[in-house]
Amino acid sequence: MFELTEDQAEIRDLAREFAREQILPGATERDRSHEFPKEIIAQLGEMGFLGMFVPAEYGGTDLDVFSYVLALEEICYADAGVGVVMSVQNSLAIAPILMFGSEEQKHKYLPGMASGEKIGCYALTEPMTGSDAGAQKTRCYADGEEYVLDGTKMWITNGPQADVCVTYANLDVASRHKGVCAFIVETDNPGFSVSKVEDKMGIRCSATAELVFEGLRVPAENRLIGEREGFKVAMATLDGGRIGIAAQSLGIAQRCLDLSIAYAKERVAFGKPIANLQAIQWKIADMRTKIEAARLLTWRAAKMKDAGMRVSAEASMAKLMASEVANFCAYEAVQIHGGYGFSTEYEVERLYRDARITTLYEGTSEIQRLVIAKDSLR
């Protein structure tokens, strides 16, 4: 049984109160307008939710991964679009700098990112290199005290708003992952541009963009660790990112369950609330059971990461289970709501769309199964 410390319970409760009072009321309108939640993100920064892993010396709140998972689930319960901005900032943009950055890099970038003054993004995926992350086609070459980058990145969350971009490029495409380098890019550098903002099915208040690097010059001091070691950075970062998406999935799933219970108690059919019907009761029971199982897997992965253990398989199991549970619960929530569930008047329609991305980004369900199988069979 997992027991929350007093501090962890306080973090969860703070996130829950803020999410339900400040984020949830505007979620439907943000979904319709696609408006980036600038003010909410600034508030999350002020509250310490954008630099949760960052030590105090770099301006963060120096909390554990478990606290982050608790907080992120609550934020995503209200709006998964807001939650993914928080997830990318913590798990994908800040984490690689914290894990692999030099002291100079940490002092330069982490304080502004932890406070929310600077927004970060993580640019790994390319038009032809999604699941095959080692096949980076973005090229780089050294030119004196700089590197020059040329290429295109796709599906980059926070791309249009980002001030800092952790990205990857290849010194030798033929070497695949053995030629990959990781860089910290400041997006106001000449040669960096946002070429397209995607019109997405869900999580619509978080912007997803295509980024183009054309002769983008990056100081050599902005390379993360050694040349040709970027793939290691990418894989270590994705472990933490997958735990974050598992937490996001839990928030979506829990909201689906809570709305379904409330609707089942109110909706009358055949002279009684549909909550009295066994068909509905079994749906509720399955939703709750699957959520609890996914939550335990997610909490285990977070606890193991806090303990400094290798979590590749555990993070993949948590992400696989939680993302598929989110989609299951969203489906059942729409089913329980009947025709109303297909209407934009009811929130479960948005949750259904938001849930769909969770089995795709940070590695598809198929990739998670490959990771788990490889670990099992080694």
Q: What is the pLDDT of residues 179-192, one digit of tens each?
A: 999 999 999 999 99
**Topology (CATH level 3) of domain 6-119:** Butyryl-Coa Dehydrogenase, subunit A; domain 1 (1.10.540)
DSSP-derived secondary structure letter, 219: E
Looking at residue 345, its amino acid is E
Q: Which of 131, 133, 149 is nearest to 141 (CA)?
A: 149
Residue 337, pLDDT score: 98
Domain ranges of the chain: 6-119, 121-230, 232-377
Q: Is the pLDDT of residue 1 over 80?
A: no
Where residue 135 falls among pLDDT bands split at 50, 70, 90?
confident
d(CA 253, CA 88): 20
Task: Give the tens place of pLDDT for each residue, 258-300.
Answer: 999 999 999 999 999 999 999 999 999 999 999 999 999 999 9
Q: Which of 41, 125, 46 is nearest to 85 (CA)?
A: 41
Residue 72, pLDDT score: 98
Task: Give the tens place of pLDDT for each residue, 146-190.
Answer: 999 999 999 999 999 999 999 999 999 989 999 999 999 999 999
The domain over range 121-230 is classified in CATH as 2.40.110.10: yes
Calculate ∠ Cα 130-134-140, nearest 5°: 100
Residue 130, pLDDT score: 76
**Domain 232-377 classification at class level:** mainly alpha
Q: Which residues are catalytic?
A: 362
Helix (H, G, I), strand (E, B) or coil at 185: strand
Residue 133, pLDDT score: 78
Residue 182, pLDDT score: 97
Q: Are 244 and 231 in contact (CB under 8 A)?
A: no
Q: Is the pLDDT of residue 129 over 90?
A: no
Q: What average pLDDT score do residues 6-34 get?
A: 98
